[in-house]
A and B are shown apart, each in its own frame.
Chain A
Amino acid sequence: MQIQVVTFSEVKDGNAADEWQDGASGGVAGDGTGTARFIVVDGATGAFDAVRWVDQLVTSFVPPPGADHAGPRPPGLEPAAMRAWFARMQDQWAADVPAFDSIIEERKFREVGSFATFLGFEITGLDGPDPFWRAVALGDTVLFHVRAGRLIATFPPMRAGEFGSHPAGLHTLPSSLDEMTDRLLAGGGVLADGDFLFAATDAMADWILRAAERDEAKVFHTLAELAHPDVFARLVEDQRKEQDGAKRMKNDDVTLMRLRMLADQPSFLLACR
């Protein structure tokens, strides 16, 4: 089975493009197992240098092609491996002390630190009869498993309206390690030809769940057919302006990763710049 992956993103309306604090990446692991792994993270607005924290998490969980393979291996998804990875990420953050230009900056780095919600997942068994996904999550970045236009799994199992301002997540402070370990959620499911996985940060995920309550086939058809970043940008722009508050998408950084499971090669390739 093949996986066709595309990631869309839009910065919060009113912010500069370089203030996008989400992160997403994915690809086939370079360990010869054929496993593909993916990560979507959402850096918190109130965090210190969330862009750096997000970048550190993404490049560690899914090393970019050409990365130093002598370095630490990406973590497994088992609780003990994830805990060790959390601790390693915190150590790396603390060891890389930036130059501070004020006492406020220094104290925020040391006392508040940085924070991001986290969704990591793997797809394995692509060459076998029952490929499946396994995921771990801290917070409200959500994975949707869709088959034939129907939502068959939501991970973490969130409902519309449950997206608050204080989700769980990956924190740089070592004092939060136990809580992160305790709150880590795990899930999984078997994949079939034609299935979609959508990984979305909170504003998008909340909007998807609310739209799916009204007409799930329509919303997932819309997301499945997104073919260009401009189309995604228009969708987000329109939904942020929606007059009906129950339908409106919250103005926030938005990231949507779409994975399409295909038994055959795609019939065409569209490259967007």
Chain B
Amino acid sequence: MYSRDISRRDPGCVVFLLDRSDSMRQNWGNSRETMAEGAARALNETLLELLFTSQGEPGKARHYFDVGIFGYGLRPVAGGEGVEPAFGGKLAGQPLVALPDLRDNPIAVRETPSVDAGAPPSRVPVWVEPVYGHRTPMCQAVAVAGAHVYEWASAHPDSFPPIIINITDGMVTDSPYEGAGLEEWAQRLVNIQTSDGPALLFNIFLSPAGSANPVMFPATDRGLPAPGPDLFRISSLLPPPMVASAQSAGIPVEPGARGFGFNADAYNLVRFLEVGTKVDVRD
């Protein structure tokens, strides 16, 4: 299981569930960013990294991944509370987008100060904007994304299994949803599989306190306050390629580690997303 390389013949699928509830308006640790801004920035960086893997030859991107982002909480397009695809611009409303389309359709390219003194500003493509409002309909997010993941897995039976990464700062507010609680919705999601194994569900919980005791890829939920144990329980075991990826990033990983992070600051969110989306690409 989890041994397939990503290729154009058997592309991968990465879906992000992005909490856009009202609590994401809080400042993140000591930074001047809100959690919504920090999460959007980390997601845009992760999309850029995925695009780097696909940008081999000049002038074209290889279709290595289909990518989805589902915001839950405020729906900026439809209005009100719920779930909707979070891409903006020409990609608005699309549940899953092939990397070449993502490459060609950022909402904007913005300049940000370079981290290197004296270096020119860095030009950053943007696909997702920070928004927040309403409560946290996480069950509905898993349900809506799951329907698209199921369709994708049916169309790609021999691919590396779909990866779903849930970024949240809050407690689920819609459980039970359509008769099922969060744990059952999560179980339905990871029941989706390809010939290479079940879908992977990872969860990362953001803390407005920033780096207050962050926990990355734990093997136990011991000592975690709510909603840590619930999110730990629905998180998949970290498969061997990602264990290796975490270890090469200097993150200690014990046997039984799960794709789960708790009390993450901006730095740890980026590292979590890097590990969770790192799969070998072969052609």
Contacts and interface: CB of A to CB of B under 8 A. Distances in A.
Interface of A: 12, 14-15, 19, 45-51, 98, 100-108, 112, 165-166, 251-252
Nearest to B3: A245
B9 A104 contact: no
Contacts of B283: 12, 14-15, 19, 45, 251
Interface of B: 7-9, 48, 51-53, 55-59, 61, 103-104, 106, 109, 122-123, 125, 248, 280-283
A46 B248 CA distance: 17
Contact of B281 (A46, A106, A108): A46
Nearest to B99: A104
A103 B58 contact: no
Given A14-B8, A107-B48, A107-B123, A102 B56 contact: no
Contacts, number: 60
Given A45-B281, A50-B56, A102 B48 contact: no
Contacts of B61: 104
12 contacts: A14-B7, A19-B283, A45-B283, A46-B281, A49-B58, A100-B58, A104-B52, A104-B103, A107-B123, A165-B280, A251-B283, A252-B282
Contacts of A103: 106, 109, 123, 125
B8 to A, nearest CB: 7
Contacts of A47: 56
Nearest to A102: B103
A98 B61 CA distance: 16
A102 B104 contact: yes
Contacts of B106: 103
A164 to B, nearest CB: 9
Contacts of A15: 283
